[in-house]
Every structure is written in structure tokens, then in C-alpha cells.
Structure 1
Amino acid sequence: MTRFQNPSEGISQEALAGLVAEAVQQALTQYGVLLDTEALVMASKIAGHVAAALPFLPPVQRLAIGSFKGGWTGLAADFFRVITDKIASDDSADRAFERSPKPETARPTARQIADRAADLQSMLIEDWAGEVAGSTYLEEKLRIPRSTLHRWQRRGEVVALRKGGRKHVFPLAQFVDGRPVPGISDVLSAIASPRLAWFWLSRPSPELDGRVPIEMLREDMVEDVVRAARALS
């Protein structure tokens, strides 16, 4: 059996997914796609499993997918949105079974928040912050002049994460059309630590029913996010 045998010749769906994932990871690396190691592996695995599932579908379903003329980019975005919501829902359910905090202790205390900020200072940005980039990349790819970026940083209008000595990197998810999404400055006013602010912005929040704050800001749901950030602080 060769590496490229089709399903009828014996290759398993799992094996095929592994081959596709390997090829995707090589392609992403070759073309310099800006992803941290964990995200790179995850993107490759997802692509592998999606592609490998198609040959194993019944003929009718394959024909239906083949006739799809819609936007694949939008469909992919919807797929990840559903997965994120499911993960957030599952995590919330697990936490509910693990503990039932009293109303007065349900929200994190100032001490817990400070401890979390200290933990993040000792962690590598690539391990938790998602895709980040420096000023050179933002100027070349997003057409954001360095002077503008630094002005935003001084005014607290953009999340800047210190990396190394004096160097800063900027999470890419906070930019839309070359500008920080509305509400970033309000969140930074409520949560003074940029690392803690981005940690909260980039993960499902119990204060927002499991939704991810930065995604809500990108959808112009500023008031809800700012209200939750102020309540957290």
C-alpha cells in the first residue's frame, strides 16, 4: 500500500488526515505564515481531518459539497465560531460540576487577578497570546506607520506586549482595517496590565456568557465588553 492509496484500497481516514496535516504544516512553514507553534500544529490538524473526511463521505454528500458555490472563507469562519462556542459551553458545564461558588465569591478577587498578571509575566508570549507581530510587520503588511503605532501605544489605544528588553509585539486580532478595534482603550483603562488585559480579551469570558471579548469588539459590541472589563477590575 503506497502513501497515496485511496480509501477503497485500504488507507484509513486517520492516516490520510495525518498525511494532509503534514503537507499543510510544511506549506505554512515554507510560506512564512505567522503562527506560533501550537497554532501551526492545530491549523494543520484541522486541515488534515477536514480534507480526509471528504473521500469517506457517501457519494451523494460528496456531490452536494462539490456543487457548493458559496464563500468557503465565510464557511470556515462559521465552523470555527461553532467550535469555539462548543468549547466554551463544555468548559462552562465542566466548571459548574466541579464547583458551585457562593454568589459573593463567584467573581475573581483583586488578589487572584494580580496573581494571574504575575503568572503571565513569566510565560512566553507565543504560548498564550496567539498571533503577534512587531512594528516592522505591521507597517509592511497592515500599512500602519511606526509613528502611528507608537502614538496609539502611548495613548493606551492598542495592546502592546513587552517581549525581551524594550521590544514590544502587538496581537494581530485587535486590528481591523489597519486600526485597533473600538473599545481597546476602555479595556486597558479598566485592566491596567496589558498582558492580563489581552489574556482576558482573547479567551471565553464567564462574564460574557462564554463569548470571547475581542471577537465581540470586532463585531462592535463595545458596551458589553467594557462593562464586563470594568466589573472584572
Structure 2
Amino acid sequence: MNRFQIQGLKQDDFADMVAEEVERALAHYDEAINKPTMVSVGKIAGSIASAVTLLSPKHQRAIDTIHADLPGLASKFVRALAAEAARRSEAGIAGETNPPTTLLADVEPSSLPKSDDLESMLIEDWAGRVAGSTYLEENLRIARSTLHRWQRRGEVIALRKGGRKHVFPLAQFVDGRPVTGIRDVLSLISNPRLAWLWLTRPSAQLDGRVPIDLLRQDQVDEVIEAACVFAPA
């Protein structure tokens, strides 16, 4: 686990912390930079840093192997971001919440691995950061009895690892509780592995947005509607 997870720091708080550090660095480096741009750059940096920490160890290691290419890839991302911002500005849709299609590729349901395939894959390679009940009790102050009650009620996603041991994806917790909507998703997609895979991948039904991110923002209804479309007949 990384430092801010051990300290119980929320992802949004971590992103804000990175953003503030970047803003301070910019203010010191370029006194002529305007405040709105400084804030935007900080927000971009914080969001990216936070997103990287939620990647699976496999994907983090993959990023580690392309250090030399990162500046070029980052430049492409920023140019695409600027182009999308200009498009929205010209169209008068600055408040649009859907991500640009040039930045996020929609994932069709048929492209997701099947549940049988997931059983043969290491959890850490596709589920992001996970933890057992001991970690959750010590760091998020979630009592084992509470965790087991949530699990029985289908209010939290538990992934079996090995024999009878279960681990819990950390991204489903906000302020020590599972986000609202998990139970509804599990009622539609009963396989926990398939449900979590769907929750953590860009969804075509949500215009490329990631379902778990929306649940963390209390946008439950949209996610449930998308899950209904995705759910096996």
C-alpha cells in the first residue's frame, strides 16, 4: 500500500494535495502565469497522479517501462485536452461533463473478458488495489463484523482469492463505507468479478465514463441504467 492509503487519505484529498504543490511550483517558476491556468494545471496533475495510484500493480509496472516516452505521451494528452476545451468553448458547452472521445475510448460490453477468464487471472492484474479485512479494520476502521454484514447484504464487492479468503477493492469505499449503488449493480451483474470489472472500465453506455467514478460522485441512477443494459439477459 502507498503512503496516502496507509494514512487513510482519500483519493480526492490526495489529488488536491498534489494540485496545491504543483500550483506552488508554477508560481515560483513562472511569475507571469495567470491564476486560472495555474489552477487548471494543478488540477490536471492531481487528477492524473490520483488515477495512477488506483491502477493495478501490473499497469503501474508497465508505465515504469516507458519512462523515456512519458514526456511525448503527456504532450499528446495535453494537446488533445486543449483541442477538446477549444471545441467546447466554441460550441458554448463549457459545462459538458462527458469526457472527449479523443481522450477516452469507449469500451463495448463484448470486449470485456468473460467471467471464466477472470477466474484464471491474478486479481491484482485487473482489479486495481485490493485489501483484506485486517487492512480495512486497521486503516479504514471498518470492523470485521460490519464488513461481513455488508458482504452478506451484497452492499460491498468481495473477490475470492485462493480458497475461502476474500479481498475488497479499495476504490469502492468512501469515508469508510461502500459507495451507494454497489448493491444495485450486484443485483444486475451477480458475478462479483464481472461486476467489478464493469465498474472499473469506461462504459459505452456512459459515454466513456467509468461507473465506479460516477458512484463515488453519487451519480447512481445513470450507473444503474447502464448496468441494466450491460447485464446478461
Q: TM-score range by the shorter chain?
A: 0.5 to 0.7
* Aligned mate of 1:77, from 47, 68, 71: 47
> What is the correspondence of 1:38-49 to structure 2 with a 5 Å cutoff?
none
Does residue 92 in structure 1 map to residue 102 in structure 2? Answer: no
Please say if residues 99 and 207 of structure 2, whose CA atoms lie closer than 8 Å, have aligned partners that are also in contact. Answer: no
Give the secondary-structure state (helix, strand or coil) at the position aligned to 2:105: helix
Partner of 2:174: 176
5+ long unaligned stretches in structure 1: 1-27, 35-49, 96-106
TM-superposed deviation, 1:89:
3.8
Give the secondary-structure state (helix, strand or coil) at the position aligned to 2:135: helix
2:118 partner letter: L
Partner of 1:203: 201
TM-superposed deviation, 1:76:
0.8
Give the secondary-structure state (helix, strand or coil) at the position aligned to 2:150: helix
Partner of 1:43: none
1:76 partner letter: G
Please say if residues 88 and 204 of structure 1, whose CA atoms lie closer than 8 Å, have aligned partners that are also in contact. Answer: no
> What is the correspondence of 1:76-225 to structure 2 with a 5 Å cutoff?
76-77=46-47, 89-92=102-105, 108=109, 116-225=114-223
RMSD: 4.1
Give the structure-1-normalised TM-score.
0.59
**Deviation per CA, 1:7-63, whole angstroms, max 9, x where unpaired?**
xxxxxxxxxxxxxxxxxxxxx87x5967xxxxxxxxxxxxxxx8xx97xx77745xx
1:92 partner letter: A
TM-superposed deviation, 1:92:
3.0
TM-superposed deviation, 1:116:
1.1
Please say if residues 99 and 209 of structure 2, whose CA atoms lie closer than 8 Å, have aligned partners that are also in contact. Answer: no
The alignment-based identity, stated in percent, is 56
Which is greater in Rg? 1
Residue 86 to residue 182, structure 1, CA distance change in 2 (3 Å): closer
Give distance in 2, aligned partners of 1:184 and 1:191. Answer: 10
Give the secondary-structure state (helix, strand or coil) at the position aligned to 1:170: strand
Residue 162 to residue 79, structure 1, CA distance change in 2 (3 Å): closer
Runs of at least 4 residues of structure 1 off by over 2 A?
Answer: 31-34, 57-61, 72-75, 77-93
TM-superposed deviation, 1:131:
1.1
The aligned length equals 172
Give distance in 2, aligned partners of 1:187 and 1:92. Answer: 23
Residue 88 to residue 128, structure 1, CA distance change in 2 (3 Å): farther
Give the secondary-structure state (helix, strand or coil) at the position aligned to 1:92: coil
Partner of 2:58: none
Give distance in 1, aligned partners of 2:4 and 2:163. Answer: 25
Residue 90 to residue 77, structure 1, CA distance change in 2 (3 Å): closer
Give distance in 2, aligned partners of 1:180 and 1:77. Answer: 21
Partner of 1:44: none
1:186 partner letter: D
